[in-house]
Structure 1
Amino acid sequence: MAVDEGLVAWVAEALEPVGTVTMRKMMGGATLYLDGTIFAIVASSGDLWFKADAASDATWDEAGCERFTMTFKDGRVDSMNYRRAPSDVYDDADAMREWAALGIAAGQRAPAKKARKAS
């Protein structure tokens, strides 16, 4: 399934007052960045998931936003530190900015990835 380009455009439009949203396609979905900081993913299902961490988990839990999980072919289930976006972000720019701010902050707190050494 292709990335929902309309959703990505909406996220970029809603967050324009905050910064520039860019996208990197991967595994049928896309990773979203705000001024270079990863803050969300768009799953191949078309759902938006914001980055989360220990500092923001209580807020996500209180809002009832489930954690991103994936099931592998062998039946194993794994989760990632992303939370399903509340439904109001899909049609309310203020809500988009409010919830995205949690993802942006989590992205800023995340340790920088080390560059791989060339072999």
Structure 2
Amino acid sequence: MSDFIPFVQELLEGLGPVSARRMFGGHGLYHEGLMFAIVMNQQLYLKVDEQNRPDFEVLGLTPFTYPMKGREVALSYWSAPDAIFDEPAEAVRWARSAWDAALRGHLAKAQARERAKACVKTRPVPTGSVG
């Protein structure tokens, strides 16, 4: 693990415990079981959704991209602003926003699964013979 990961974990102490797990040549950063950030090539990227995306766009920040089948694929993790590395309170504020985005995504997926289960339960069971 590079020195950058422990540095980021220390920077985000105000958020609470942050764990790091290796993934795809980088690391995923987790808080309370949800991945809210990734570190790729010594660069921190934070989780973005429709609600917090304007905060990133106004600063000209960009999503993490990688090549796949001849095109660039963008993830919902965007560059963290450089200013957070000098100001722990700002780092925690941005990390909290990213964690909130991860939580909203997690809850939306859980609700979609519940709706899908409800649809399956309410479908009539076919009767009769198939012939």
Superposed pair shares fold, TM > 0.5: yes
Structure 2: give runs of 5+ residues left out of the alignment: 111-131
Match of 1:117 in 2: none
Match of 2:12 in 1: 15
4+ residue stretches of structure 1 with deviation over 6 A?
Answer: none
1:28 to partner: Cα distance: 0.8
Percent identical across equivalent pairs? 31
In the alignment, which of 33, 38, 41 is matched to residue 35 of structure 2? 38
The alignment status of 1:81 with 2:76, answered yes or no, reads: yes
1:18 to partner: Cα distance: 2.1
For 1:111 and 1:93, how far apart are their aligned partners in 2?
26
Contact 1:11/1:96, CA 8 A, preserved across alignment: no
Q: Counterpart of 1:63 in 2: which secondary structure?
A: coil
Structure ranking higher in helix proportion: 2
Report the aligned-residue RMSD.
1.7
For 1:95 and 1:6, how far apart are their aligned partners in 2?
21
Contact 2:11/2:85, CA 8 A, preserved across alignment: no
In the alignment, which of 38, 59, 62 is matched to residue 66 of structure 1? 62
Deviations 1:48-79 (A, max 9, x none): 0000001111111112111111112x322111
Match of 1:24 in 2: 21
Q: Counterpart of 1:80 in 2: which secondary structure?
A: strand
TM-score normalised per structure 1: 0.82
Structure whose alpha-carbon radius of gyration is higher: 2
Letter in 2 for 1:42: V
Count, aligned residues: 109
Letter in 2 for 1:10: F
Structure 1: give runs of 5+ residues left out of the alignment: 115-119
1:14 to partner: Cα distance: 2.0
TM-score normalised per structure 2: 0.75
Letter in 1 for 2:104: R
